[in-house]
Amino acid sequence: MRWWLAPALALIAGLAAAPPASGFDLESVAGAELTNLLSPAPGRGATLITVHDATVGRPIPPGFVGLSLEYPTIEPYAGGDPAAVNPVLVHLIAGLAPGQRPVLRIGGDSTDWAWWPFAHMRKPVGIRIVLTPRTAAVLGALAGALRARLILGINLEANSQRLAALEARQLIRRVGPRWVEALEIGNEPELYGRWPWLDRHGHRVIARPAGYDLAGYIRDFRGVAGALPPVGLAGPALGGPRWIRSIGEFIAGAPRLRVVTVHTYPLQRCYTPLVAPTYPTIAHLLAPSASRGLAGRLAAAVAVAHAHGLPLRVDEMNSVSCGGAHRVSDTFASALWALDTMFALARVGVDGVNLHTFQTATYRLFGTARRAGRWRASVAPEYYGLLLFARSAPPGSRLLRVSGAAGSLRAWATRTPAGSEHIVLINDSERARVIVVQIPGRPGWAAYEALRAPGFSSRSGISLGGVGFGSFTETGVLPAPDPVRLHPVDGGYVLRVPGASAVTLSLPARSPGL
Do residue 44 and residue 74 come from a single domain? no
Q: What is the pLDDT of residue 483?
A: 73
Can you give the CATH number for the domain in which 297 is found?
A: 3.20.20.80
User: Looking at the 3D structure of the chain, how many domains does it have?
Assistant: 2
Do residue 146 and residue 185 come from a single domain? yes
**Does the pLDDT of residue 133 top 90, yes or no?**
yes
Do residue 273 and residue 335 come from a single domain? yes
Range of the domain at 416: 3-57+398-507
pLDDT per residue over 420-433, tens digit each?
A: 999 999 999 999 99
**Nearest by Cα to 137 from 179, 174, 185, 166:** 174
pLDDT per residue over 469-497, tens digit each?
A: 999 999 999 998 887 999 998 879 999 99
Distances (CA, A) of 29 to 5, 33, 448: 23, 9, 11
Domain boundary (351, 372, 392) is at 392
Do residue 139 and residue 223 come from a single domain? yes
The answer to whether position 244 is within a domain reads yes
CA angle 237, 287, 363 (to 5 degrees): 50
The answer to whether position 319 is within a domain reads yes
The answer to whether position 513 is within a domain reads no
Task: Specify the pTM.
Answer: 0.92
The answer to whether position 147 is within a domain reads yes
Q: What is the pLDDT of residue 39?
A: 40
Can you give the CATH number for the domain in which 20 is found?
A: 2.60.40.1180
Do residue 72 and residue 143 come from a single domain? yes
**Does the pLDDT of residue 23 top 60, yes or no?**
no
The answer to whether position 514 is within a domain reads no
Q: What are phi and psi of 36, to 5 degrees?
A: -160, 165
Q: What is the pLDDT of residue 44?
A: 56
The answer to whether position 104 is within a domain reads yes
Do residue 197 and residue 239 come from a single domain? yes
Do residue 70 and residue 141 come from a single domain? yes
Other Cβ atoms within 10 Å of 162 Cβ, number: 12
Do residue 28 and residue 115 come from a single domain? no
The answer to whether position 282 is within a domain reads yes
How far apart CA 102 and CA 386 sit, in angstroms, is 14
How far apart CA 256 and CA 306 sit, in angstroms, is 16
Do residue 178 and residue 296 come from a single domain? yes
Do residue 324 and residue 302 come from a single domain? yes
pLDDT per residue over 264-295, tens digit each?
A: 999 999 989 999 999 999 999 999 999 999 99
Do residue 228 and residue 258 come from a single domain? yes
DSSP 109-134: GGGTTEE---TT-PPPTT--EE--HH
Do residue 53 and residue 79 come from a single domain? no
Q: Calculate the average pLDDT of the chain.
A: 90
CA dihedral 162, 167, 173, 177 (to 10 degrees): -100
The answer to whether position 512 is within a domain reads no
pLDDT per residue over 163-190, tens digit each?
A: 999 999 999 999 999 999 999 999 999 9
Domain boundary (376, 392, 408) is at 392
Q: What is the pLDDT of residue 480?
A: 87
